[in-house]
Structure 1
Amino acid sequence: MTLVKALKGIHHVSAITANAKNNYNFYTEILGLRLVKKSINQDDTSVYHLFYADERGNPGTDLTFFEIPNAAETRMGTNSITATSLRVSTDKALQYWKKRFTEYKIEHDEISHESGRASLAFKDFENQRLILVSDETNTGVEGGKPWDKSTVPVEYGIIGLGPVILTVSRLELTEQMLTEIMGFRKKGSYKGIVDGMEREFFLYETGEGGTGAEVHVLELSELPRERSGRGSVHHVAFRVEDEEELTKWINRLNQNAIPNSGFVERYYFKSLYFREPNGILYELATDGPGFETDEDFDTLGESLALPPYFENQRKSIEAKLKPLNTKTK
């Protein structure tokens, strides 16, 4: 079997929104993230793909959204990514965010320590399930750097992606993929409350471990499969070093007869897609070349950025998109 390096952690999470303008307002104005790239869904050029991250879109900090204007409401269920975590530096930051969510009338829970770290669950305007998690005790993968022009003070700013939570119907299938194929380590478990009942979450980590390199899995076999829509997660991506390493992962999947996309050019990174046995979509993505490939640092996200292989379609692409003003105020 092809030898590969350990996955470095979470690269990005991609979700679905029905309204790019409201999405932009929430994630930049309320959450204080920077829009580092305003582009298109490369598989459907009629809709936006928005990338929010730290100051320059470092790997492991990107929360991205495909705009699907007619997306129905999500029917929550199993075999899906049921929560995305966002990292903050300290426990104190969560107190700031709890107050901020109250002021902005954002639906949120109380600060919790179920996973062994201080965390604060909340939802966006489309019921996207999100969790702020403190990095105060983190000793693994380092976070990013908040943008100094954010609406949120730098000391409380979001510094990257934390653990994703998967809900699956058959835990053993997901665990086998994570540990035997993808090289994750099973780290332990913890108890959490789900719909008023105590449930056990299983924790897996990769690379240096820590907040930015974990997957938490909950088994709920009694639920129907989630029907995705606005407010649901499309896929989670994990970090690989470069294109050479990505090629090794393609070979590894092929040797294990795991159906996959093969090499996919995304311009800002190179990708590989496949589904784990419960049907959740995974992506492996390279750390580079990054979002400053076609824009300067100071103006990231302000204009519609198209990979070179779409530039000859710019006029027709722009004609299909609703105008979205993302100029820095």
Structure 2
Amino acid sequence: MYFTGIHHVSAITAQATNNLDFYRRILGLRLVKKTVNQDEPSMYHLFFGDERGNPGTELTFFEIPRAGQTRRGNDSISLTSLRVATDAALDYWQDRFTQLEVPHGTIKERAGRQTLSFEDFEGQRLMLVSDEANVGVAGGVAWDGSDVPTEHGIIGLGPVKLTVFKIERTIQFMTQVLGFRQKGTYLSDEAGQPDIIVLETGEGGSGAEIHLEHRTDLPQERPGRGSVHHVALRVNNEEELNNWVDFLNDKGISNSGYIDRYYFRSVYLKDPNNITIELATDGPGFDTDEELAHLGESLALPPFLEQHRATIEANLQPL
């Protein structure tokens, strides 16, 4: 059993309206599903992705209006990267971020690829990574419904970075339990800190990597707006997911058990540094209850919440 790559990343926002504006208007992502947190339906759960929200392209946000600002630190998912097709696309984005006053860094090589770091309006740590020199799992298809030229558009999720205090425990867990391989290392952006370790799964490549940062000088992260809640790994189908549940149980690894999220099936677990990891199937997909041409246009609810629609809609601020 192995994972085919990153499935999605789920983060926290305190302002769904501004979040929608940033990720749809500024980044040119498609809102592929406007729904609610199935465990707490009083809050929005927004899904952004490529033209149809393909697995491996989904960046999602839970809206928690009272969420405080994140105190950055250890035992966290500290960076989410987004793939673009070429190095030239990074020049386009650097200019766009300057014009739109989005905080950003300079174009820099990391792990053999050209990258551009930036932040959203809540301090969410993000990075664009070029696929020009990438080999491995394929990206998606950029949405053509924004003013971002499709040749420069975002085509999926790239490497996700974890920052941890006890790195050996995470390496052992990722390699011996989840089946990742060590690929290499690259220099940290922080002077005097250890190199970043690259782990990969499946075909490898940008869309199938976890990067590990070892820090002993940071407090534990206090999550809030601008933090990441969990990263999900791609499982081909429901049969494989059930095999993973059996495997985790046989190993004595605590997990949520099988959960039906309607658009995909999942199981949740924790790494040794208490970082939440989800295993999620590629299907059924976001066009299960909406036509592809109209994804994200109305509030979508899974069947078990449909009977509560009136109450749920009354408690949400319209987007």
Shift of 1:116: 1.1
Q: Deviations over 1:17-48 (max 9, x none)?
A: 00000000000000000000000000100000
What's the counterpart of residue 19 of structure 1? 15
Residue number among 309, 312, 316 corresponding to 1:317 in the alignment: 312
Q: Is the 8 A contact 2:193 2:215 kept in 1?
A: no
* Partner-residue secondary structure (3-state), 1:179: helix
The percentage of aligned residue pairs carrying the same residue is 60
Residue number among 167, 173, 198 corresponding to 1:171 in the alignment: 167
* Partner-residue secondary structure (3-state), 1:165: strand
What's the counterpart of residue 302 of structure 2? 307
Q: Under a length normalisation based on structure 2, what TM-score does the superposition of the two structures give?
A: 0.99
Q: Is the 8 A contact 2:16 2:63 kept in 1?
A: yes
What's the counterpart of residue 184 of structure 1? 180
Q: Is 1:125 aligned to residue 103 of structure 2?
A: no
Q: Deviations over 1:102-157 (max 9, x none)?
A: 00000000000032100000000000000000000111000000111122100000
Shift of 1:197: 4.2
Shift of 1:198: 4.6
What's the counterpart of residue 243 of structure 2? 248
Q: Structure 1: where are the runs of 5+ without partners?
A: 325-329
Residue number among 250, 263, 267 corresponding to 1:272 in the alignment: 267
CA distance in 2, matches of 1:199, 1:94: 27
**AA matched with 2:134:** N
**AA matched with 2:172:** Q
**AA matched with 1:319:** A
The aligned runs of 1:82-93 (5 Å cut-off) are 82-93=78-89
Q: Is the 8 A contact 2:12 2:229 kept in 1?
A: yes
Deviating runs (4+, > 2 A) in structure 1?
A: 196-199
* Partner-residue secondary structure (3-state), 2:77: strand
What's the counterpart of residue 145 of structure 1? 141
CA distance in 2, matches of 1:215, 1:114: 13
Residue number among 130, 135, 142 corresponding to 1:134 in the alignment: 130
CA distance in 2, matches of 1:198, 1:245: 38
**AA matched with 1:249:** W
What's the counterpart of residue 38 of structure 1? 34
Shift of 1:222: 2.6
Q: Is 1:213 aligned to residue 245 of structure 2?
A: no
Shift of 1:304: 0.1
* Partner-residue secondary structure (3-state), 2:221: coil
Q: Deviations over 1:183-225 (max 9, x none)?
A: 000011111212x545410000000000000000001123111
Shift of 1:15: 0.1
Residue number among 236, 248, 264 corresponding to 2:231 in the alignment: 236
**AA matched with 1:321:** L
Q: Deviations over 1:228-254 (max 9, x none)?
A: 000000000000011110000011111
Q: Structure 2: where are the runs of 5+ without partners?
A: none
What's the counterpart of residue 159 of structure 1? 155
CA distance in 1, matches of 2:192, 2:41: 43
- RMSD of aligned Cα (Å): 0.7
What's the counterpart of residue 221 of structure 2? 226
What's the counterpart of residue 294 of structure 1? 289
**AA matched with 2:201:** T
* Partner-residue secondary structure (3-state), 1:49: strand
Q: Is the 8 A contact 1:28 1:151 kept in 2?
A: no
CA distance in 1, matches of 2:110, 2:192: 13
CA distance in 1, matches of 2:100, 2:145: 20
What's the counterpart of residue 7 of structure 1? 3
